[in-house]
Amino acid sequence: MQARYLVTGGAGFIGSNLVERLLADGHPVRVLDDFSTGRRVNLEFGAEQAGRLEVLEGDVRDPAACRQAVRGVEVVFHQAALPSVQRSVEDPVSTHEVNATGSLRVLAAAREAGARRFVYASSSSVYGDLPELPKLEAHPARPMSPYAVSKLAGEQYARVFFKLYGFETVALRYFNVFGPRQDPDSHYSAVIPRFIRKLLAGEAPEVYGDGEQSRDFTYVANVVEANLKAATAPAAAGGVFNVALGGRVSLNQLLEMLGRILEVPARASYREPRTGDIKHSQAGIEQARQVLGYRGDVPLEEGLRRTVEHFRSLSRAGS
């Protein structure tokens, strides 16, 4: 089997959703993952899909693993990363090694192997505490955490590879992605799975700060769509694009919405703010719409309903 697509970090939350879509569309897919944060269960698809899936266990910091992974591949979706601002504050060196050096390793291997395009998963965290809303790709980067610095480094490497070598790269700045397969149990887990798990258990979710901080929460299917568009849009090469819905809600509003969907009381347990967190985030998505043809078809409340149903199904299955 000759894989047309490589998804690094394909056993992770976003990566596995992307793999699932590619397989459903009939494409052979190769995954490179070291399973440090990704989960093998995320790659358990039906028998037909499994026949088109090749899984390599390896580290993006390992040049040999990268060379093996990119062999014969047309498009690389580089999702592999050590996530979490908080984790990076506690361990900046590991974050840099995986997110910056690892990205460079995959990028260099993909170019040398003759891949057509490299789609890089960046982050809205690169904007930092920039006060302007919505945040636009033309705004200056002001990273406030080692995680944000590492993501910006990967972006810059991708841009330079396009400018210097003509290797087609596209960077996508994700804004607060949520959905099925997001881990609610990790110390570093994102807010929506934590909120859902706590509310399902009849407990008050922890909110760091006063809950008035706002985010542009984006359902994972929209991010998958953006990746597929970025792989083919002719004018996208060398570009950077926000991926979001273009709106924002506060954590207090989010908690109210989840309480309404779950039909449970929604009360928070407020804690001290976390180091490196920003107050407000909202994306301008006109560039993605115009250049990629991105739509973002799944609105926030519908995405929340789908995610709640996913976690309810896990609860019913005893997972």
CATH number for 118 = 3.40.50.720
> Which residues constitute the domain of residue 118?
5-179+217-246+282-297
- For 263-304, the pLDDT digits (tens) are 999 999 999 998 767 889 999 999 999 999 999 999 999 999
Q: What percent of the chain has pLDDT over 90?
A: 88
Residue 180: predicted pLDDT? 96
Q: CB neighbours (10 Å) of residue 202?
A: 8
Q: CB neighbours (10 Å) of residue 72?
A: 12
More confident residue, 48 or 88: 88
Domain assignment of residue 120, yes or no? yes
Quick one: pLDDT band at residue 319, thresholds 50, 70, 90? low
Domain assignment of residue 195, yes or no? no
The mean pLDDT value for 2-31 works out to 95
Residue 208: predicted pLDDT? 92
From CA 204, how far away is CA 317, in angstroms rounded? 23
Domain assignment of residue 206, yes or no? no
Domain assignment of residue 86, yes or no? yes
Q: CB neighbours (10 Å) of residue 269?
A: 10
- 263: buried, middle or exposed (CB in 10 Å: 19+, 13-18, 0-12)? exposed
Residue 7: predicted pLDDT? 98
Domain assignment of residue 142, yes or no? yes
Domain assignment of residue 91, yes or no? yes
Quick one: pLDDT band at residue 129, thresholds 50, 70, 90? confident
Residue 86: predicted pLDDT? 87
CA distance to 15, 20, 27, 257, per residue, from 7 (Å) = 7, 11, 12, 33
From CA 298, how far away is CA 223, in angstroms rounded? 10
Strand order in the sheet with 117-123: 53-57, 29-33, 5-8, 75-78, 117-123, 168-174, 240-243
* pLDDT at residue 71 tops 80: yes
- For 194-253, the pLDDT digits (tens) are 999 999 999 999 999 999 999 999 999 999 999 999 999 999 999 999 999 999 999 999
* pLDDT at residue 187 tops 70: no
Domain assignment of residue 69, yes or no? yes
Domain assignment of residue 305, yes or no? no
Sign of CA dihedral 250, 87, 8, 38: negative
Please, which residues bridge with residue 173 across strands? 122, 242
From CA 181, how far away is CA 20, in angstroms rounded? 12
The mean pLDDT value for 5-19 works out to 98
Residue 1: predicted pLDDT? 56
Q: Residue type at 257?
A: M
Question: Mean pLDDT, the chain, as a whole number?
Answer: 94
The mean pLDDT value for 132-148 works out to 96
Q: How many domains does the chain have?
A: 1
Q: Which of 317, 296, 303 is nearest to 192 (CA)?
A: 303
- C-alpha gyration radius of the chain: 19
- Ranking 47-51, 77-81, 151-155, 207-211 by mean pLDDT, the lowest is 47-51
